[in-house]
Amino acid sequence: MKEQIVQWIRNYFEENGKDCNAIIGISGGKDSSVCATLLVEALGKDRVIGVLMPQGSQHDIQMAYDLVNYLGIRHFEINIGDTCESILNAIAKSGISEQELRANKVYYSNTPARIRMVVLYGVSAMFNGRVVNTCNKSEDYVGYSTKFGDSAGDFSPLSDLLVKEVKALGAELGLPRKFIEKIPEDGLSGKTDEDNLGFTYEQLDSYIETGRIDNPVIKAKIDKLHMTNLHKITPMPMFIKNINK
């Protein structure tokens, strides 16, 4: 699988920017770690730029630094904490309650993700770049991403891979296990991704593959998340005029 994806990345850049660099947000988790390693294999480390984007302080940011140092890629740390607060304060000045904004999970979790994508495209503009989407198939299936945030990008190497396949690919690439097995978390709630979802990625992967799951409660939860969040991965609905009427 590694060679297939590496060649796919090379083909993408051949067709969409022969002299462009790959711009990737780095968290130190499995998805960004595997993506960054694939990019280095495909393009060489001199054409890969990592961007670390803590929101204020980030307790596990050392993992991100460990990855960029392991790969030897150019990188920048751009803290989005002040920007998040500035946007919140600007909205609050309009008369919307600051307290309600901070308590609103949709606003408070999605806004930083969208700011990070703005940062990535800002860096991309400065370095003749193409922004990497690092989402995987499991996350996309249940919409565990932010529309116009981490679900955005110019190309997506992992979007057809389940979580277990991403981990297997990481092992095939020879990544140290700490990057492959890092417990995914949102960095805001103090909870893991699986805590937030209410089921494990192992259960989700199995259901996506087989269409079967023993627990009817979890099945209903996955089905609801899938249907509710399809808008994140499908093209925007567009009105098409009928010239015959």
CATH number at residue 14: 3.40.50.620
Give domain status of residue 12, yes or no: yes
Q: How far is Cα 243 from Cα 245, in angstroms, rounded to an integer?
A: 6
Q: What angle do CA 105, 107, 112 make, to 5 degrees?
A: 105
Give domain status of residue 163, yes or no: yes
pLDDT tens over the chain, length 245 residues: 999 999 999 999 999 989 999 999 999 899 999 999 999 999 999 999 999 999 998 888 999 999 999 999 999 999 999 999 999 999 999 999 999 999 999 999 999 999 999 999 999 999 999 999 999 999 999 999 999 999 999 999 999 999 999 999 999 999 999 999 988 776 666 678 898 899 999 999 999 999 999 999 999 999 999 999 999 999 999 999 887 76
Pair 169, 161: CB distance under 8 Å = yes
How many domains is the chain partitioned into structurally?
1
Q: How far is Cα 39 from Cα 22, in angstroms, rounded to an integer?
A: 7
Q: Which domain holds residue 73?
A: 2-183
Pair 42, 3: CB distance under 8 Å = no
Q: How far is Cα 105 from Cα 138, in angstroms, rounded to an integer?
A: 22
Give domain status of residue 98, yes or no: yes
What pTM, to 2 d.p., does this model score?
0.93
Task: Name the DSSP class of 159.
Answer: T
Give domain status of residue 46, yes or no: yes
Give domain status of residue 57, yes or no: yes
Give domain status of residue 238, yes or no: no
Q: How far is Cα 245 from Cα 242, in angstroms, rounded to an integer?
A: 6
Give domain status of residue 80, yes or no: yes
